[in-house]
């Protein structure tokens, strides 16, 4: 049984309230007790009291048979995640400490935080990434943390939604289906500017670190890292001239993967275009056949019907295809909204060929 003193009567009453705004206020508003309690316990270094609050929220609210109580428990647990906002920044600051022992313990501390919080740590991915990439970081400590963060990203980057976001969505009258896309804690568009900035580093450790992360992110199909390739391709190509053989080999490997993905995306698009053309002509032939039958039933001559058919057919010649019909647009409309039941590699991937070619040309001209 959870400790009844963990939450006072005002909080319990608020979390059980039928009105969403009152439940939210009881858990998240800075002027209400639950929010203040957690902050105070963090400041006073009282983890047992924080644990008591969490146990109370889980046993009496999140696992309750009453829907209002379960919703209140969800919001209350989300409020507890503010602990990360209090804990993560000072730990990350210690990654740059002058004392190597402090840096090592900072890595160890962040490892434990990430291990417990799992997907929630992805809210701070950019900050953790930059801290691990620091030139003064402790190698042994960052290797373990780096491996853990990579595992979390690989498993949850495309699916995990922060508890804070989920809590804001748990409104009483919400009619949204549970399968609607959510805002995930990890954001590739938010990370790419940081990668584009760091990719011009010359430090061997940093370059190896960046290539390893690019490889991990590229291995996650739903992220479609290749769509952002022009943002960091220039710096990545410079890794090919690095004195370190391992860096050159790793860079060559990831560039080969990108090339294969680009080729795959192009082939898929061409196949869709051909299928669209085929479907278009089949549909036109069907319409002409129906038109001919209608004309015959109306007493029109076979000659007139043939002439009309020939006239319609001339509009489908090669010149018309090239000059009038947009097969790219047709190929998109043909597949839009029609799930095939399986994922096709390269399908829907957007490649900026112009920027990629320009970057490659610049490197060829300068070599």
Each residue's pLDDT, cut to its tens digit, for the chain (367 residues) gives 445 456 677 777 877 787 877 776 766 554 445 556 666 776 777 777 777 877 777 788 777 777 777 777 766 766 666 667 777 888 888 888 888 888 888 888 889 888 878 888 999 999 999 999 876 666 777 889 999 999 999 999 999 888 767 656 654 444 444 443 458 899 999 999 999 999 999 999 999 999 999 999 999 988 899 999 999 999 999 999 999 999 999 999 999 999 999 998 888 877 777 777 778 778 777 878 777 777 666 655 545 544 444 444 444 444 444 445 554 554 444 444 444 445 455 566 788 999 999 999 999 888 6
Provide the pLDDT for residue 330: 47
Look at residue 317 in the predicted model and tell me its pLDDT.
45
Residues 6 or more apart whose Cβ sits within 8 Å of residue 206:
133, 135, 198
Secondary-structure percent of the chain, ordered helix, strand, coil, rounded to 5: 75, 0, 25
CA atoms of 259 and 139, how far apart (whole Å): 32
- pLDDT of 311 reads 45
Quote the pLDDT of residue 36: 66
* Closest C-alpha among 67, 171, 83, 93 to residue 121: 83
Residue given tokens 């590739």 in the structure block? 188
List CB contacts of 260: < 8 A, sequence separation 6 or more.
none
Look up the pTM and report it.
0.67
Distances from the Cα of 199 to the Cαs of 208, 213, 214, 238, 313, in angstroms?
11, 11, 10, 9, 55
Dihedral of alpha carbons 238, 239, 245, 251, sign: negative
pLDDT score recorded for residue 208: 94
Rounded CA separation 322/320 (Å): 5
pLDDT at 154: 95
Measuring CA to CA, how many Å separate 216 from each of 107, 150, 354? 21, 7, 26
Q: Which two tokens stand for residue 93?
A: 């600051």
pLDDT of residue 78: 63
What radius of gyration, in Å, describes the C-alpha atoms of the chain?
29
Q: What is the pLDDT of residue 341?
A: 47
| Residues ≥6 apart with Cβ < 8 Å to 184 | 122, 157, 158, 159, 160, 161
Q: How far is CA 186 from CA 78, 109, 217, 233, in A?
A: 17, 21, 11, 22
Tell me if 212 sits within 8 A of 220, measured CB to CB.
no
pLDDT confidence of residue 199: 96
- pLDDT computed for residue 201 by the predictor: 93
């Amino acid at each position: 049984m959870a400790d009844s003193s963990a939450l006072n009567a005002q909080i319990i009453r608020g979390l059980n309230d039928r009105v969403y705004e009152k439940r939210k206020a009881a858990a998240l508003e800075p002027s209400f007790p639950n929010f203040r309690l957690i902050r105070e316990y963090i400041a006073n270094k009282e983890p047992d009291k924080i644990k008591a609050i969490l146990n109370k929220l889980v046993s009496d609210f999140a696992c309750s048979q009453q829907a209002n109580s379960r919703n209140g428990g969800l919001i209350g647990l989300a409020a507890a995640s503010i602990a990360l906002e209090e804990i993560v920044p000072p730990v990350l600051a210690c990654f740059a400490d002058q004392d190597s022992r402090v840096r090592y313990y900072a890595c160890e501390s962040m490892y434990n935080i990430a291990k417990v919080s799992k997907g929630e740590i992805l809210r701070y991915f950019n900050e953790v990434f930059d801290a691990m990439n620091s030139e003064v970081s402790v190698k042994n400590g960052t290797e373990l943390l780096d491996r853990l963060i990579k595992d979390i990203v690989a498993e949850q980057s495309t699916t995990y939604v922060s508890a804070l976001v989920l809590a804001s969505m748990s409104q009483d009258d919400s009619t949204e289906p549970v399968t609607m896309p959510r805002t995930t804690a990890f954001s590739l568009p938010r990370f790419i500017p940081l990668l584009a900035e760091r990719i011009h580093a010359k430090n061997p450790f940093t370059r190896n670190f960046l290539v390893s992360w690019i490889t991990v992110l590229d291995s996650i199909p739903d992220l479609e890292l290749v769509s952002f390739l022009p943002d960091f391709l220039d710096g990545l190509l410079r890794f090919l001239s690095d004195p370190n053989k391992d860096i050159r080999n790793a860079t060559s490997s990831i560039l080969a993967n990108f090339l294969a993905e680009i080729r795959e995306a192009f082939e898929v698009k061409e196949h869709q275009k051909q299928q669209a053309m085929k479907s278009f002509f089949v549909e036109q032939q069907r319409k002409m056949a129906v038109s001919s039958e209608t004309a015959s039933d109306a007493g029109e001559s076979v000659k007139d019907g043939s002439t009309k058919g020939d006239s319609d057919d001339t509009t489908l010649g090669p010149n018309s295809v090239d000059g009038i019909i947009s097969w790219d647009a047709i190929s998109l409309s043909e597949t839009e909204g029609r799930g095939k039941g399986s994922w096709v590699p390269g399908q829907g991937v957007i490649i900026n060929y112009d920027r990629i070619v320009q970057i490659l040309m610049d490197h060829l001209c300068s070599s």
